[in-house]
Chains A and B, each alone.
Chain A
Amino acid sequence: MADEKAAKKIEPPNECLSKVRIGGPLAVTDDVLEQAQADLPGLSALFFESIEEDIEALDAKLKEMTDDPDSQKEVLDEIARVAHDVTGNGGTLGYDLLTVVGNQLRHFLENATLPLNELGQEVVELHIYALHAIFTQKLSGDGGDIGAELMSGLTRIIEKWEASA
């Protein structure tokens, strides 16, 4: 940001402020926010449809996994992209564990050296199976005891992979 020492500072007109009012029947109060949050589960049908599509896409990509570096990279890039979507959507309707596992998978793929060996591929596979389990058993929040067990298994396989690297 050194360039900004010699930069021009501009105050643009606040177009938003000129259109906003304080109070009135259409104002966003705490009650409005609470109701807005309470209404989100109304989108659960679309949510489950979207997550199901994502998990099917992950399953399909898993079947395409090979040891060939080029095609493996293509497969893993797509898995990371879908895991990113799951990360963003999961917690929106309270399925926080989908977000945690999706994010962990994406993070693993971003930092792993490719091509993945057999153990690395197992890390990916187990994360996808975990997403499957969370979805089919509708494990909301942290998933309780089953969630803890899933996370513990994923942590163990990542530690094993890190130790072998």
Chain B
Amino acid sequence: MRSTIFKFRIYIAGDTQNSIMALANLSAICEANLPKRHKIEVVDVLREPKRALAEGIFMTPTLVKLAPSPVQKIVGTLEQLGRVLEVVGLRAPIA
């Protein structure tokens, strides 16, 4: 389990404030919790609008965890750290 690689894709909209914040938060989470065990793909919907359309991304920023399964989507700036970790599967949900 420790060697599992986490694949993320984050959809951002250019350099809007929300997007910049989300990117920063994501990198911070990955560095802290998944050092060298993560891959981040950044999709700028302003540059690739058709892709956003095809993949059904309408709110930016949106983070998609592609691997390990299940695929999870989180919308927003990812500022509630605990919640993000929970969704991504790095921390057990607090009962």
**Do A and B come from the same complex?**
no
Point out residues on A near B: beta carbons under 8 Å.
none
